Amino acid sequence: MSDCLFCKIEKGDIPAEKVYDGDSVFAISDINPQAPVHLLIIPKKHYSTILELDEKDQELVGSVFSAANCLAKDYGLDQSGFRVVVNCGAEAGQSVFHVHYHLLGGRAMHWPPG
Query: In terms of C-beta density within 10 A (0-12 exposed, 13-18 middle, 19 or more buried), how is residue 37 classed?
Result: buried
Q: Are strands 37-43 and 82-85 parallel, antiparallel or unpaired?
A: unpaired
87 in contact with ligand 5GP (CB under 6 A): yes
24 versus 69: smaller Cβ distance to Zn ion? 24
| Residue 30, binding choice from ligand 5GP, Zn ion, none, Cβ under 5 to 8 Å by partner class | ligand 5GP
d(CA 56, CA 43): 14
Strand partners, 27: 20, 41
Based on the residue annotation, tell me whether 100 is a catalytic residue of this protein.
yes
Which residues are near Zn ion by CB under 5 A?
1, 4, 6-7, 46, 98
Which amino acids are annotated catalytic? 100
Which residues are near ligand 5GP by CB under 6 A?
5, 16, 28-32, 40, 87, 93-96
